[in-house]
Amino acid sequence: MNGRLEGKAALVTGSGSGIGRATALLFAREGARVIVSDVNASGAEETVAAIQKKGGEARFIRCDVSKSAEVEALIRGAVETFGRLDCAVNNAGISGVMGPTGDYPEDAWDRVIATNLTGVWLCMKQEIQQMLKQGGGSIANTASVAGLVGFTMAPAYTAAKHGVVGLTKTAALEYAKANIRINAVCPGLVRTPMITDTTSKNPQIEQALIADEPVGRMADPEEIAEALVWLCSGASSFITGAALPVDGGVVAR
Asked whether residue 1 carries a pLDDT value surpassing 50, the answer given is no
Whether the Cβ atoms of residue 151 and residue 110 lie closer than 8 Å to each other:
no
Model confidence at 131: pLDDT above 90: yes
Higher per-residue pLDDT: 140 or 209: 140
Q: Using 50, 70 and 90 to split pLDDT, how confident is the model at 198?
A: low
Give me the mean pLDDT over the 50-61 stretch.
98
**Three-state DSSP class for 33?**
strand
Overall average pLDDT of the 30-51 stretch = 98
Higher per-residue confidence, 210 vs 26 = 26
Tell me the average pLDDT of the chain.
95
Q: What is the mean pLDDT of residues 34-57?
A: 98
Q: Taking each helix axis from N to C terminus, what angle separates 41-53 and 18-29, rounded to the nearest 10 degrees?
A: 20
**Contact present, 11 and 58 (Cβ < 8 Å):** no
Residues acting as catalytic residues: 157
Picking from 87, 85, 67, the residue whose alpha carbon sits closest to that of residue 76 is: 85
Statement: residue 219 has pLDDT above 90? yes
User: Does the pLDDT value for residue 151 go beyond 60?
Assistant: yes
Strands 137-142 and 243-246: unpaired
The CATH number of domain 9-252 is 3.40.50.720: yes
The model carries a pTM of 0.95
Residue 203, pLDDT above cutoff 90: no
Helix residue ranges, H only, the chain:
18-29, 41-53, 68-82, 106-113, 119-134, 155-174, 193-199, 203-211, 221-232
Q: In which band, very low, low, confident or very high, does the pLDDT at 2 lie, cut at 50, 70 and 90?
A: low
Rounded CA separation 66/183 (Å): 21
114 — alpha (psi -120 to 50), left (phi > 0) or beta? alpha
What type of residue sits at position 103? Answer: D
Among candidate residues 145, 174, 173, the one with its CA nearest the CA of residue 161: 145
Per-state percent for the chain, helix, strand, coil, to nearest 5:
50, 15, 35
Q: What is the average pLDDT across 140-144?
A: 98
The proportion of the chain whose per-residue pLDDT surpasses 70, expressed as a percent, equals 97
- In this prediction, residues 239-244 reach a mean pLDDT of 98
Nearest to 40 by CA among 101, 4, 91, 78: 91
